Amino acid sequence: MPNVIGYHAHVYFDPSTRSDAERLRDTIVSKFAVEPGGFSDEPRGPHPISQFNVMFQAGEFQSIVPWLMLNRAGLDVLIHPLTEDMVDDHSVYALWLGTPVALKLDTMQRRGYGAALLPAALAHEARQG
């Protein structure tokens, strides 16, 4: 079984739901032990539409994921693990709340993540080897 070093939750939005996404992001950041990642209106990497992400360690999964199931404000959410294979993370290992978005899997390589995409404590451990 691959080693899971944390998770991302990506929340997708469009111009008409951007304010819902901003509110949801603020609530998540205030309620849970997450690190906010980028809020991008433009397509980025495998994400073909606007999204923001938050990063969290494995221990926070049981708190944030059940909450998101009930409080996603109608927005589509991708939750994916952080393993050493980001292609699998965004496809075979992906968990979707709502309607899956067709991701651009060919923009990724089969490897792990740079420090900017890992929760800080874990990125620090990764740098220490």
Q: Please, which residue, 40 or 63, has the CB nearer to Zn ion?
A: 40
Q: Please, which residue, 8 or 25, has the CB nearer to Zn ion?
A: 8
- Provide the minimum distance between the beta carbon of 8 and Zn ion in the complex, in angstroms, as a whole number: 3
Q: Which stretch binds Zn ion (CB under 5 A): 4-12, 43-51, 62-70, 98-106?
A: 4-12
Please choose, from the candidates 92, 47, 41, the residue with its C-alpha nearest in 3D space to the C-alpha of residue 9. Answer: 47
- The sheet carrying 7-12 orders its strands as 35-40, 51-56, 7-12, 77-81, 95-97
Max Cα separation, the chain?
Answer: 44
By CB under 5 A, the count of residues binding Zn ion is 1
Out of 8, 51, 85, 122, the residue judged to bind Zn ion by CB under 5 A: 8
Find where tokens 């929760």 sit: 119
Enumerate binding residues for Zn ion (CB under 5 A): 8
